[in-house]
């Protein structure tokens, strides 16, 4: 009798252990399933971060460097030499009468891949002129540059940064202003000019300088070196606008 009871107790114990085993396996299986899902989510997040990082590495911040009031017989050639040595393309807003006096520099600016913009023929505030006089200032500069390069000018930087909106429609020219102005024409202190520009540099920035001062040329080449080292890519205003 005792033997039969003991056998029955052992049988019940085995059934309990078997049932407990089934429950444990179910829980473990579910836990494993959750672990796999969590791992997948983590991997996806890491991949997304790496993708963003790779994109940032492929597409560095871009900035444009521009020069007004040229071409200048004493300074523009040296500036072009420095830009060519560094593989940098810039934008030159030319004064028509100076372009007419220095056709070889205009030709070189064009041939070396820089963009030429219009800065009026006499460097005048066109808002103080009649529509006819303002159009003349822009057209005369375009005529000079076209005679040298065979291409019309698409961009204009109005002197003093003031513009007549109607001219944009009538003449099919696009005004281009700036975001960084170190007022280089007020000082010969190269360090001051450089510091002003590099501390304000940002993605999509447009730097305003002048290629008619030796100090501005020195500053421009140092600015290019510093910002290139910081990872910036220099582009023309045309590339900035079209993109």
- Could you confirm whether 68 is annotated as catalytic? yes
Q: Cα separation of 210 and 118, whole Å? A: 14
Q: From the candidates 68, 69, 211, 218, which is the catalytic residue?
A: 68
Q: From the candidates 69, 114, 142, 210, which is the catalytic residue?
A: 210
Alpha helices (H) along 87-156: 96-101, 103-111, 131-149
Q: How far is CA 83 from the centre of its chain?
A: 17
Residues with Cβ within 8 Å of residue 223, at least 6 apart in sequence: 65, 193, 194, 197, 198, 207
Contact by Cβ (8 Å): 234, 224: yes
Q: What is the DSSP secondary-structure string of 168-187? A: HHHHT-EE---SB---GGG-
List the Cα angle 156/217/155 in 5-degree steps: 10
Q: Cα separation of 134 and 126, whole Å? A: 5
- Could you confirm whether 131 is annotated as catalytic? no
What positions carry a catalytic annotation? 68, 210
């Amino acid at each position: 009798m005792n033997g039969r009871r003991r056998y029955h107790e052992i049988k019940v114990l085995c059934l309990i252990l078997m049932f407990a085993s089934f429950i444990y396996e179910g829980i473990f299986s579910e836990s494993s399933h959750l672990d796999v899902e969590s791992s997948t989510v983590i991997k996806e997040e890491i991949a997304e971060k790496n993708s963003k990082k790779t994109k940032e590495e492929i597409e560095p911040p871009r900035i444009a460097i521009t020069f007004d009031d040229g071409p200048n017989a004493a300074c523009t050639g040296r500036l072009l030499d420095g830009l060519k040595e560094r593989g940098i393309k810039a934008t030159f807003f030319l004064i028509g009468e100076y372009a007419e006096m220095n056709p070889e520099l205009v030709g070189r600016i064009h041939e070396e891949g820089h963009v030429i913009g219009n800065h009026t023929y006499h460097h005048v505030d066109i808002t103080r002129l009649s529509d006819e006089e303002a159009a003349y200032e822009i057209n005369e500069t375009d005529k000079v540059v076209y005679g040298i390069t065979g291409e019309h000018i698409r961009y204009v930087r109005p002197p003093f940064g003031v513009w007549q909106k109607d001219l944009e429609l009538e003449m099919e020219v696009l005004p281009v202003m700036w975001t960084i102005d170190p007022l280089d024409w007020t000082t010969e202190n190269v360090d001051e000019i450089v510091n002003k520009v590099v501390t304000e540099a940002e993605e999509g920035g447009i730097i305003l300088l002048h290629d008619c001062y030796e100090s501005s040329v020195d500053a421009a080449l140092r600015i290019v070196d510093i910002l290139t080292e910081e990872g910036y890519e220099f582009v023309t205003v045309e590339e900035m606008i079209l993109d």
